[in-house]
C-alpha cells in the first residue's frame, strides 16, 4: 500500500513540474536585431510575447505558446518572450539600445499578455492579440496572427 502511494505522489509531482515547465518554455530575448537577421534568413515572422513574471494570464498564454515555440510553429516562425517589467539592456530591431519596458511602451503594450508579430524590419504584420478574453478562442487567435504574418513575409 505504501509503495502505491509513493508511486502516485511521484507521478503527481512529475506531472505538476512538467506543467510548470511548460508554462515557462518561452525563450526570452534581449537582441531583436539578431532575431531580425535570423528572420530574414528563414523568411519567418517574429512573434513577441509581452509578459510579466507573476501574471496568471501570462502563465495561461505560455501553455498555449510553449508547443508553438518548441517547434518554431513548424519551423515557420520565431517566438520569443519579453518581460515588460524589465529594465535590463536590450536592443531593438534597428540595434539601438533600449529596455524591454520602453520597447513595450513604444508598441502600446498596456495589458499582458500581448502578442505582436513583426517582420524582420520590425514592422507589425498582424493584428496584436491582447489579453485572453475568451480562452476557448485564444489558440485560434494566435494561429490566425501567425498565418497572416507568415503569408505577409512570404509574399514580399
Looking at residue 134, its pLDDT comes to 86
CA nearest to 47, candidates 135, 144, 136, 134:
144
Looking at residue 19, its pLDDT comes to 43
Looking at residue 3, its pLDDT comes to 54
CATH top-level class of 26-153: alpha beta
Looking at residue 25, its pLDDT comes to 64
Q: For the chain (length 156 residues), average pLDDT per consecutive 10?
A: 47 41 72 97 97 95 94 94 96 97 97 98 97 91 96 89
Separation between Cα atoms, residue 146 and residue 48, nearest integer Å: 11
Looking at residue 6, its pLDDT comes to 45
Backbone phi and psi for residue 4, each to the nearest 5 degrees, phi listed first: -60, -45
CA nearest to 29, candidates 81, 79, 68:
81
Looking at residue 148, its pLDDT comes to 96
Looking at residue 17, its pLDDT comes to 41
Q: How many CA atoms lie within 13 A of 14 on its CB side?
A: 6
Contact yes or no for 76/154 (Cβ under 8 A) = no
Amino acid at each position: 500500500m505504501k509503495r502505491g502511494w509513493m508511486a502516485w505522489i511521484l507521478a503527481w509531482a512529475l506531472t505538476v513540474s512538467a506543467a510548470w515547465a511548460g508554462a515557462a518554455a518561452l525563450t526570452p530575448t534581449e537582441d531583436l536585431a539578431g532575431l531580425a537577421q535570423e528572420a530574414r534568413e528563414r523568411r519567418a515572422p517574429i512573434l513577441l510575447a509581452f509578459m510579466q513574471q507573476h501574471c496568471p494570464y501570462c502563465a495561461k498564454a505560455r501553455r498555449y505558446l510553449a508547443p508553438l515555440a518548441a517547434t518554431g510553429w513548424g519551423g515557420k516562425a520565431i517566438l520569443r518572450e519579453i518581460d515588460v517589467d524589465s529594465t535590463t539592456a536590450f536592443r531593438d530591431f534597428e540595434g539601438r539600445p533600449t529596455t524591454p519596458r520602453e520597447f513595450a511602451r513604444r508598441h502600446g503594450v498596456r495589458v499582458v499578455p500581448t502578442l505582436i508579430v513583426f517582420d524582420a524590419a520590425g514592422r507589425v504584420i498582424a493584428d496584436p492579440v491582447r489579453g485572453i478574453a475568451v480562452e476557448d478562442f485564444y489558440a485560434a487567435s494566435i494561429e490566425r496572427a501567425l498565418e497572416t504574418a507568415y503569408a505577409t513575409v512570404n509574399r514580399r
